[in-house]
Amino acid sequence: MRQSPPRHPSRRKFLAQSGQAVAVAATATSLLAHTSGRAANWTLEATSLQESFPDGSTVPFFRFKALAGTEQRGALPFLSATEGTSVTLTLINRLAVAIQPGIQGLGRGPIVAPGASKTISFPMPAAGSYLLQEMRFASVSGPLGLSAVVVSRPSNGLNELWNGGPAFDREYILHYQDSDERWNQAAAAMTPPNTALYEPNFFTVNGLSYPASDADPDTHIACQLGERVLLRLSNSGRMRQAIHFHGYHVDIAARGNVPNTILPPKDTVEVKAGGTTDVILNVNQLGSYPVHPHSLTAVTANGLYPYGQLTLIEAL
């Protein structure tokens, strides 16, 4: 950490206070059956922007911006369609560098020059959770922010992770990213970052830092007793994340879209860099409980606690 934090609540005291937070109404509606077999047209824009953090810092990021045909979760684009759907993706590049979109495990698209746009067509892959990322400078673009979550729905139209897979009542997308401010500043100045030195000091979930993460209805996990909640966890940073659940154990349904048949319910779940992990939360008790990475630095903003990749489960 680059500076000594001022006096904030201790981690144990803060988590205890969070667990006693006043309950709020469940704002995420249950999912409806999904229509299959239709074409999807998505438009994204790659752009540079400045993001403010609770410590008072303003940091440059490169981000995909959701345009026509896309949704948003937190501050990030969210792309969803049924498996086998014919997808047309238009990417507009407003950055000063060429970029190359790709979906992890599926392949790369064409290089898109600065100021240009390219259209890519592909069929949606098998049902599961995927990451759309910039692939041309992949080791750097994740921390800079160029990523989006892609969800492929099962063709049977049911609320299942895949045809005949784990069923759920509602879902949340939690996309984790860690960033070294020096890398972002270098990229914004069009100079190569020092990739030999990486010390992340800003951390986001769905592009948000706590308390904004908990105030966002797509990132605050609002649910009801007895529900099964699908949490699609993903990570475009460089840190391996170990996401820790207070109050619950979760069932690991899949890692990297490979079904889990071995691991028992856990209160801490690995999400590797560039990876996805899908878990089912069985809401078996009421209350308010924190969800955060087990790394203390990941719940800070430039060394200040408690910020970063923290949100709450609110079970009514």
Are 281 and 223 a contacting pair, CB within 8 Å? yes
223-263 confidence digits (pLDDT tens):
999 999 999 999 999 999 999 999 999 999 999 999 999 99
Domain count, the chain: 2
SS3 18: helix
- Using only the alpha carbons of the chain, give its radius of gyration: 19
| Torsion angle of C-alpha atoms 94, 95, 98, 100, degrees rounded to 10 | -70
Q: Over pLDDT 70: what percentage of the chain?
A: 88
pLDDT score at 138: 86
Are residue 191 and residue 270 in the same domain, yes or no?
yes
Q: Are residues 145 and 105 in the same domain?
A: yes
Of the listed ranges 24-33, 201-210, 257-266, the least confidently predicted one is: 24-33
**256/241 Cα distance (integer angstroms):** 14
User: Alpha-carbon distance 185 to 131, whole Å?
Assistant: 24
Domain final residue, candidates 129, 153, 177 = 153
Q: Are residues 149 and 208 in the same domain?
A: no
One domain, residues 87 and 189: no
Integer Cα distance of 108 and 120 in angstroms: 10
Domain C-terminal end among 109, 125, 153: 153
Residue 9 has pLDDT above 80, yes or no: no
Q: Prior bond to 110 cis, omega within 30?
A: no
Domain span at 68: 40-153
Listed residue (197, 212, 181) closest to 308, CA to CA: 212
Give residue-wise pLDDT tens across range 259-284. 999 999 999 999 999 999 999 999 99
Give the mean pLDDT of the chain: 90
- pTM of the entire structure? 0.90
State the pLDDT confidence band at 38, using cuts at 50, 70 and 90.
Answer: confident
Are 149 and 186 part of one and the same domain? no
Pairwise CA distance, residues 166 & 155, whole Å: 14
Give tens-digit pLDDT for 60-110: 999 999 999 999 999 999 999 999 999 999 999 999 999 999 998 889 999
pLDDT surpassing 90 at residue 17: no
Long-range contacts of 69-73 (CB under 8 A, 24+ apart): 69/40, 69/41, 69/42, 69/43, 70/42, 70/43, 70/44, 72/218, 73/149, 73/173, 73/175, 73/206, 73/218, 73/219
The CATH number of whichever domain residue 188 belongs to comes to 2.60.40.420
Please say which residue of 94, 129, 153 terminates a domain. Answer: 153
Per-residue pLDDT reduced to its tens digit, 50-59 = 999 999 999 9
Residue 158 in domain: no
In this structure, the answer to whether residues 107 and 204 fall within a common structural domain is no
Tell me the torsion sign for CA atoms 254, 256, 261, 264. negative
pLDDT tens digits, one per residue of 104-154: 888 999 999 999 999 999 999 999 999 999 999 988 999 999 999 999 999
What element of type H or E holds 265?
A: none
Q: Strand pairing partners for 301?
A: 202, 304
Q: Tell me if 124 is assigned to some domain.
A: yes
